[in-house]
Amino acid sequence: MDFETFRPFFTGAIGGLLSLWLIRRWAPHVPQAYKSKTAEQLAAENRVGIIAGNVLFIGTILVGLYLFKSGQVPSNSWRHFSLLMGVALLAPVAAVLLPTIGKGSDRAVEALVAFAIAERIPLLGVALIGFLGIVCLTSALGSLFGGSG
């Protein structure tokens, strides 16, 4: 057997090890509470939004994989890939924030802290996810509808 046969196993193992390293590195920076609410209270209050966000993320990735593998979109299209990543990165944040509309900014921050706790990432990581999602989405939409190369 050649290297190409085993390459997915090697890259998967490397990616898994890197994610474990990153989780350990981020662990001290993950919020444990917000104001007077504990992590358990925040998780309970935002459970639906967090689950919906995770389902939307996985669903978007699966739909994108199907579209690329089935030939519905060109496999070398950075625009479609960027559009997919923008939606996949912004969908969880939107799902967590959607129930907080009209309830004030403090409630929105609570929801984002609950999401950070559930995903075991610092708040800066949540902000980075949102920022990267916006960059991917706007560059893809600008290129797809703006007509530039």
Tell the residue number behind the tokens 């900014």, with chain if given.
Answer: 105
pLDDT tens, residue by residue, 13-71: 999 999 889 888 988 999 999 999 999 999 999 999 999 999 999 999 999 999 999 99
Which residue did the predictor score with more confidence, 147 or 11?
A: 11
> 148 phi and psi, to 5 degrees?
-85, 160
- Does 3 score more than 80 pLDDT? no
pLDDT at 139: 93
DSSP string spanning 33-73? EETTEEHHHHHHHTHHHHHHHHHHHHHHHHHHHHHHHTTSS
- Exposure string (b/e) for 102-131, b if CB count within 10 Å is 16 or more? eeeeebeebbbbbbbbbbebbbebbeebbe
Instruction: List, as one string, the DSSP characters of 91-148.
Output: HHHHHHHGGGTTS-HHHHHHHHHHHHHHHT--HHHHHHHHHHHHHHHHHHHHHHHH--
Handedness of CA 143, 87, 94, 132 (dihedral sign): negative
User: What value does the mean pLDDT of the chain take?
Assistant: 91
Dist. CA 19–CA 145, nearest whole Å: 35
Contacts of 46 (CB under 8 A, 6+ apart): 96, 99, 110, 111, 114, 115, 118
In this prediction, what percent of the chain has a pLDDT beyond 90? 75
The reported pTM is 0.82
What pLDDT sits at residue 110?
95
Mean pLDDT value across residues 110-129: 93
Name the pLDDT band for 95 (thresholds 50, 70, 90): very high
Residue 127 has pLDDT above 90, yes or no: yes
Q: Which residues contact 52 (CB under 8 A, 6 or more apart)?
A: 95
Report the largest interatomic distance among the alpha carbons of the chain, rounded to a whole angstrom: 59
7 pLDDT exceeds 80?
Answer: yes
Q: What is the pLDDT of residue 64?
A: 93
pLDDT score, position 44 = 94
* pLDDT higher than threshold 60 for residue 148: no
